[in-house]
Amino acid sequence: MDGLRRHKGMFLLPGLLTLFLIIIFPLLFTIRVSFSGWNVSNPRMDFIGGANYTAMLHDSRFWASITRLILLAGGTVLIQYIIGFGMALLVWREVRGRRFWRVLFLVPMMTTPVVMAAIWQTIFHESLGPVNDLLGMVGLTNVPWLTESGPALVALMTVEVWQWTPFMFLLLLAGLLSLPREPFMAAAIDGAGTWRTFRKVTFPLMAPVSVAAVVIRLIEASKLSDSVYVLTSGGPGSSTETPGYYLYIQGLRDQQTGYSGAMSLAYLVLMIVTLTVVAALLTRAFKLKGAS
């Protein structure tokens, strides 16, 4: 196809340029604004040098939120992957009501995160919600879901797992359904059991899908903020703040545009580097697993 150089631009450029044009202004704007003292009462593009960046280095809330995000995103994505893969395997073959389960398991990802978070807030409501009520019925005490940092993190992760496991489920189920049959027959002839078949055949074959699904989920999970916003407002104290939510507080609610610009850029660079490294590591890890 190398003979068609003249045409390749025709395909790529409309999309690339569109995205570039839409994105370039915000990016330049953010870079420029990060060197300004633009805030709510002084919305001007003045120049204050690197003051915002210096302030950011000393902003322990920001750095704490990044550490927290790594745990939250890593943890939820791992849980989503395990459950998503498990469910995909269970409804992959030979199960009654297969179509019903599949549709049901897809639905949460179709819902609006902010809206569902509001519903979850009522579910975790410590005195009026059903979770504590049901726990009470089986004789357990009230859990301070949204008022203590441990349970609040669990609540957040629950919401994230609920919302996005279907995404994993979809990608992994589609992956499973497109697997060739031959290796399974071979494994069956070899007399491999369920677990061995999974470990030696299914899992290695699913490695590419798995890497893609995990990476894309990590990207999305890194923006985690809607559910924080609605459920805990980052509380108690600042113990459930994520960078996304902290940026929102600084940049939009308090309109510290300049400062949030600096943080955004730092965050963006950090995320791109982290995710690239993670993606590379995952690819290698899965390849090794697949080869063994």
Residues 5-34 that bind other proteins (CB under 8 A): 5, 7-12, 14-16, 18-19, 22-23, 25-27, 29-30, 33
237 binds other proteins (CB under 8 A): yes
Rounded (10°) CA dihedral 63, 69, 75, 76: 170
The Cα–Cα gap between 55 and 57 comes to 5
The distance of closest approach from Cβ of residue 283 to other proteins in the complex, given in angstroms and rounded to an integer, is: 12
Range 167-226, binding other proteins (CB under 8 A): 170-171, 173-175, 177-178, 193-194, 208-209, 212-213, 216, 219-220, 222-223, 225-226
Q: Decide if residue 90 touches other proteins (CB under 8 A).
A: yes
Q: Taking CB under 8 A as the rule, does residue 267 contact other proteins?
A: yes
260 lies in the binding site for other proteins (CB under 8 A): yes
DSSP string spanning 68-109?
Answer: HHHHHHHHHHHHHHHHHHHHHHHTTSS-TTHHHHHHHHHGGG
Give the N- to C-terminal CA distance of the chain in Å, as an integer.
Answer: 36
A 10 A CB-CB count for 7 gives 10
List 63, 101, 184, 203, residue binding other proteins (CB under 8 A): 101
256 binds other proteins (CB under 8 A): yes
Q: Which of 149, 184, 200, 278 touches other proteins by CB under 8 A?
A: 149
Q: How far is the CB of 129 from other proteins (least distance, A)?
A: 6
Which helix H or strand E contains 121, and what residues bound it? Answer: helix 113-124
Of 99 and 138, CB closest to other proteins? 99
Q: How far is the CB of 292 from other proteins (least distance, A)?
A: 22
CA distance 93 to 91: 6
Part of the chain binding other proteins (CB under 8 A), chosen from 74-82, 238-246, 283-291? 238-246
Question: In 3D, which of 87, 56, 24, 76 has the Cα closest to residue 220?
Answer: 76
Does position 278 interact with other proteins (CB under 8 A)? The reply is no
Compute CA distances 105 → 35, 67, 95, whole Å. Answer: 46, 31, 14
Identify which of 164, 171, 163 has the alpha carbon closest to the alpha carbon of residue 207. Answer: 171
Stretch that binds other proteins, among 71-79, 131-139, 281-289 (CB under 8 A): 131-139
